[in-house]
Structure 1
Amino acid sequence: MNIQSLEQKIRATGNPVEMLRNSQIGPYVFPIPSEFTNWRDEQEAWQHTAVLMDLSYHMTDIYFEGPDVYRLLSDIGVNSFRNFGPNRAKQFVACNYDGYVIGDAILFHHAENKISIVGRPSAQNWVAFHAETGDYDVEVTRDERSVSNDKPRFTYRYQIQGPNAEKVLEKANQGRLPDVKFFHMCEFIIAGKTVRALNHGMSRTRGLELWGPYREGKEVKAALLQAGKELGLKQVGSRAYSTVSIESGWIPSPTPAVYAGEKMKPYREWLSADGFEANASLGGSFHSDNIQDYYQTPWDLGYGKHVKFDHDFIGRESLEEMADNPHRSKVWLNWNKEDVLRIFSSVLEGGDRFKHLEMPGSQYATLPFDQVLHNDQMVGLSTYAVYTANVRSWFSLAMIDEKEAIDGTEVTILWGEEDGGTAKPTVERHVQTEIRARVSTKRLNPHNS
């Protein structure tokens, strides 16, 4: 069988859960150097001085342009688009017909009738499907992430973050920066090049996201590094970058809610068997044969505030039914030090070993989900286990039942996969173990809360 679509791949495998849990793809790839100095100093720099994060390669940018672009967005996004004009951006959230999240990404409003959606591919693929197959006068232009694209990117994309970020940017600009509100855009000059900027940052500290034509990226980066030389600016490698969103409180990859249901079948037939959705890997101690048990609602991810019932959109009816029901809440779980040390010590002793904790980010699958237990009952899912030098602890983000989402509640994380582990190449043979953790509704970094 010549497998060309996600739908064909699921049929050939028999079950999307087994397809994803045994995918040969590991964690999401950030194709930049792993370290520029060392990951500890790079992490501390976004808290104490400033960092340059190179976002030019790991995200998919899809541009949508035409007279129907606003209708397209309104028909798909849960967000409100009232008063959404040029030079603004927002966290775009898209759901399936049953109200479960397909993906989220940053939506940039570049000019009248022209937008782009930037991030992991799920949300923008869903929008592109409707633009290309629906009754919309919209042109779609794809700029794929570098692991799926051997051509130069359209744009470079950098973030300058940290307490000294404004000083670095003003020095590079040789003057004061324009005043710009959060999630608004502006323009200024660096190295003689016009740079567009968004007031937005992964590290939840001061700074801007910058972009411009890819061919100008090296000169702009060189000017930024020179400007930051005496201000403690450090470049962030992939090891530190994989931890920044967890420290700040953003769950990078919800499970794309596309793998089941007759209504979603045309989309699965449109999606490539070589694409993100068909090759992402599921990992962790949570295991269900029903792929829909892996789906998230907007409330699970902390996006309930983005759901606006001021327009008709895909999934609205289902979300209206969910709105007043109990939801899971997004929290941080601060892991018990003794239990973490026990995991590390298992590799130094004979006998069974526990699933390795890779420093500083232990994501061994694209979509990691571990069971969270309270009084021996599952109350949610832990995702993205990391250590940062700012928190000085192992921790993870989690989506847990509202009644357990109270500061200080002690829960247990079941760490590792069942039956010695799945067939992913990132999974060594191991046994499961329990890790105690305490719930926090606030960021664990005391200087950045």
Structure 2
Amino acid sequence: MSAKNLQEVLDQAGNTVELLRNSRLGPYNFPVVPAEFTNFRREVIAWHETAVLYDQTHHMFNLWMSGPDALRLVTDTGVNSTANFPVDSAKQFVPVSPEGGVIGDGILFRLAKEEFVFVGRAPVCNWLTYNAGKGYDVEVRRDNRSPSNTFGKAVTRDVWRFQIQGPRAWDVIEKLNGSKLEQVKFFRMGHLEIAGERVRTLRHGMAGAPGLELWGPYASYEKIREAILEAGREFGLEPVGARAYGISAVESGWIPSALPAIYTSEELRAYRQWLPADGYEANNALAGSFVSDRIEDYYLTPWALGYGGHVKFDHDFVGRSALEAIEPTIQRRKVTLALNAEDVAKVLASSVLDGPQYQFFDLPLTPYGSSQFDEVQDADGNVVGLSLYPGYSPFERKALSLATVDPDVPLGAEVRVIWGEPDVTRKVTVQPHEQVTIRAIVSPAPYAAMARESYKPGWRTAVTASA
């Protein structure tokens, strides 16, 4: 009998890890936006040296929440404090399960006293939508991401969403505005006039330098985009394509691919029965050298992902008791791993040389599953962390990976990433291969110096969630 919901999928599979490790989900496709406008190397370098236009219109979910209980809904479901959450500001919103594992994250905007919009990936949108139906006086409107394959069909969204970022970003923004413009505080919102249209703005900092996220009605998409490109021409502004976009997360320290920790809690059985049998949570593909029989071993705490500073016990929320029982000082922490160039070259060369074949190291983004988990070992072979999001930075000329490691692993330590899976899974993104060890140096997150020196302490580096 065909499963009717996620819980039935899990019951029929018997082992959740095996189900997800053998997912037939194909490679991630960034929808609608071209892969490259020039080439991904040039586009990545531009956000360090001049300015770029990121098009975030199509790959994220928008969840609009309004009504008397909208604030109570986000307060009850997020680890974040809402005691100081003024209108026209935003927060990095992080919900956890009753067991304390992160479900996902994204940006939560407060548009009015009783109006919010969450922008991010499917797991958090699903979680908020489900909880909104549990006695809250709130109206929810959901605008799903654009399909990965449009096959020439017209695509529309509620809003377009752009970011102007880079060292010359503010020059572009002031030219669009026609005059000097005050730089509002980080994660504060305002307005801007572009080509006769009044658009909303959020002070952002994806590349470390001052920048803005902009959004407005989708009908003005082409008009606004062309105006930004024209204004940015004299400042070297480059439009960023789908290939380069994800490298901003690697450089600036945002891990977009945490496995939603919703598969085991008995309290979430009704939620799993509400989730569809063919949705994100049922098809999420686990990949990498770390293999455990327990799906709980893939759950990540807020501290492991760099969100410990967001956890505030000034309110009741789902998962509070589990987080209160955790000692933060012994939790794994987020770092960047700078992968050894010779070892990476060996993996790349295996595709064209006789001899061992290693799992393909794609460029610029290397994960071959929705949620990547590669073992990080010390010199004695002890597992001391997990490599979660690898890629290649043309600006740094390095292969880097965002990771979470034990608290006693110092910056500067040499560790080893085990690349490739220990057995043959049915994922369509892998071919038969041998495992290989890649040496790495434990480094700060964010890795990019500009981002490390410019971002406000305690904030997650400002990369809006990739869906």
TM-score by length of 2: 0.93
Cα drift, residue 198 of structure 1: 0.3
More displaced 10-residue stretch of structure 1: 102-111 or 202-211 = 202-211
Task: Name the count of aligned residue pairs.
Answer: 446
Deviations 1:332-384 (A, max 9, x none): 00011111111112122223201111111112111011000012100110011
In structure 2, list runs of 5 or more residues that go unmatched.
453-467
Deviations 1:170-197 (A, max 9, x none): 1122222244110010001101111100
Is 1:247–2:251 an aligned residue pair? Answer: yes
Cα drift, residue 418 of structure 1: 1.3
Matches within 5 A, 1:41-440: 41-132=42-133, 134-147=134-147, 152-324=156-328, 326-374=330-378, 375-404=380-409, 406-419=410-423, 421-440=424-443
Cα drift, residue 446 of structure 1: 3.8
More displaced 10-residue stretch of structure 1: 167-176 or 335-344 = 167-176
More displaced 10-residue stretch of structure 1: 184-193 or 337-346 = 337-346
SS at match of 1:109: strand
In structure 1, list runs of 5 or more residues that go unmatched.
none
Matches of 2:347 and 2:333, distance apart in 1: 28
Q: Which residue of structure 1 lines up, in the alignment, with residue 21 of structure 2?
A: 21
Matches of 2:91 and 2:337, distance apart in 1: 27
Matches of 1:302 and 1:447, distance apart in 2: 18
Distance 1:325 1:180, change over 3 A: closer
SS at match of 1:359: coil
Taking only aligned residues, the RMSD between alpha carbons, in angstroms, comes to 1.5
Matches of 1:447 and 1:200, distance apart in 2: 14
Cα drift, residue 28 of structure 1: 3.5
Q: Is the 8 A contact 1:412 1:435 kept in 2?
A: yes
Identity among equivalent pairs (%): 48
Q: Is the 8 A contact 2:207 2:450 kept in 1?
A: no
Cα drift, residue 243 of structure 1: 1.1
Deviations 1:242-262 (A, max 9, x none): 211110001012110011121
| Amino acid paired to 1:274 | D
Distance 1:84 1:448, change over 3 A: closer
Matches of 1:103 and 1:194, distance apart in 2: 32
Deviations 1:198-239 (A, max 9, x none): 012333332110000011111000000000111111011111
Q: Is the 8 A contact 2:52 2:239 kept in 1?
A: yes
SS at match of 1:158: strand
Deviations 1:59-102 (A, max 9, x none): 11111111011111111111000121210000000001111111
Matches of 2:186 and 2:180, distance apart in 1: 17
Q: Is the 8 A contact 2:329 2:407 kept in 1?
A: no
Matches of 2:7 and 2:208, distance apart in 1: 39
SS at match of 1:380: strand
Matches of 2:112 and 2:21, distance apart in 1: 41
Q: Is the 8 A contact 1:131 1:140 kept in 2?
A: yes
